[in-house]
Every structure is written in structure tokens, then in C-alpha cells.
Copies of this chain bind each other. A is one copy, B any other.
Amino acid sequence: MKNLIERKLEELLSGVRPAVLFDAMRHAVMSGGKRVRPQICLAAAVAVGGKAEDAVCPACAIELLHSYTLVHDDLPSMDNDTERRGQPTVWTKFGEANAVLAGDALQSLAFRAAAQSPKNADRIVAELAEAGVGVVRGQVEDLDGDDVDFIYRHKTADLFIAAAVMGAYAGGGSEADVGRLREYALNLGLAFQFEDDLLDDDSPYSKAETERMVAEHTEAAVSALEGLSGDTSFLASLAERLMGRSE
């Protein structure tokens, strides 16, 4: 599935000029991301009985949106990070102004990709826009506020939800299927975030509490897959991997 995504991402980026903008955008997108969100998107299309190929456009859209948030999160005025995945961050390599602009263009490119979805493009774009606003809401609360549930819900889960819901629409799923995948992705996102907390000494929750949250949300994610007509094995194993049950 990853090959489908990598090829389409290259295609979407191609033709961007001037060269410095292309280089900065490509550096942000093609530098070894695990592609978790786009894989959720493709797998959601499969889970509703569609084909992974149907969801390549929204899958790339969610990855481009995610990429832009990382570029902007790394800025000096935000997290001030100079390295990501062992590489210099976009602002470190291309300057701060180009990093702001490359992130901005990646967001537009995400919507261009979403609009190219062969099926239900209007719903897919609406879902991506919802996630786009949501992820910023979570980030602002993270900078200025202290509502941890709000931060987890929006900063992390919103992109998982959009990935799954867009995939379900792209695969031609019913509203009931979309609802199941929304529930799955919300819980997957929260499990993912609590799992992250286990590695974080500043977590507001105790280790025991955090482990219980990971287990509860993982179980809820897997349960939500019941009733889907297609193959849900990828989505189920992704949730279970978070529990350390495999790999």
C-alpha cells in the first residue's frame, strides 16, 4: 500500500515552481514518514468493501496536511526544532520564510489532492477541512491552554478520524460504515496519544492510568470495526500493535 502513496505524492509535488519551494515541500513530504494516516485511509476504503486504489487521493491529502503541520510546528516561533527524523527541519535548511510558505502550499496541495477523489470528493474535502481546523485548535490549546482531553482529541485524533472517514467515503461506504470508522479512528488516535505518553515524563497521567487508557481505547477501536463488510485486518492489527501485542 505504501508504494501507491509514495508514487502519488511524487506526482502531486511534481511541477511545483520555483525550485526552492519544490525542494522545501519535497523535503517535508519525502523524508521517511511512516505514512500511518494514509495507510489508515486506504485500509478504510478496503474495510467498507472498496479498493485501496479508490482512496489514494484522500490518503495523500491527509499525509500532505499532516506534513504541513509538522513543518509549521518545527518553526522557531513554535517548537523551535532543528531536526526531524535525523534530517534538518525545513526552516533550518530553507529558512523560516520558505518554511512558512512551503507549509502553506502543502496545505493547498492537500486540498487539491482531496478534490481529485473519484468518488464523494465534496464530502472528502469537507472532512479534510474539518480536520484542518481541528488540528490547529488542538495546537493552540497545547500552546496556551491546559485542557488535555481537548488537545488529544484535536491535535492527534482529528487527523486519524479524517483519514478513516475520507477512506470510507472514497470506498463508497454507507453512513453507518462511516460512523464505525469514525469511532475506530477516534479511539485509535487516543490510544496512540496515550501510548506516546508512556514515553513522556511530563505526562499528566500516572503510568497505570495511561496503560489502562491505551487498553480501553484500543479495545474500543477494534470493537468499532464490527459490522463492516470488507477486510478489517489491517485496521485491527494497527490498533493491536499499539498494545505491543505484535511487532
Contact = CB atoms under 8 A, between A and B. Distances in A.
Interface in A143-188: 143-145
Nearest to A110: B129
A129 B100 contact: no
Interface in A101-140: 101-105, 107-109, 111-112, 114-116, 121-122, 125-126, 128-133, 136-137, 139-140
Contacts of A125: 111, 114-115, 121-122, 125
Contact of A18 (B75, B103, B140): B140
Contacts of A21: 136-137, 140
Nearest to A95: B77
Contacts of A1: none
A101 B132 contact: no
A199 interface: no
Contacts of A30: none
A129 to B, nearest CB: 4
Contacts of A105: 132-133, 136-137
A40 to B, nearest CB: 20
Contacts of A126: 112, 115-116
A112 to B, nearest CB: 4
A193 to B, nearest CB: 18
A78 interface: yes
Given A16-B133, A105-B133, A128 B140 contact: no
Which of A68, A105, A122, A136 gathers the greatest number of chain B CB atoms within 10 Å? A136
18 contacts: A17-B137, A18-B137, A21-B140, A69-B104, A72-B100, A78-B97, A78-B100, A97-B143, A98-B143, A101-B136, A101-B143, A105-B133, A105-B137, A108-B133, A108-B136, A109-B133, A111-B132, A114-B125
Interface of A: 16-18, 20-21, 68-69, 72, 75, 77-78, 95-98, 100-105, 107-109, 111-112, 114-116, 121-122, 125-126, 128-133, 136-137, 139-141, 143-145
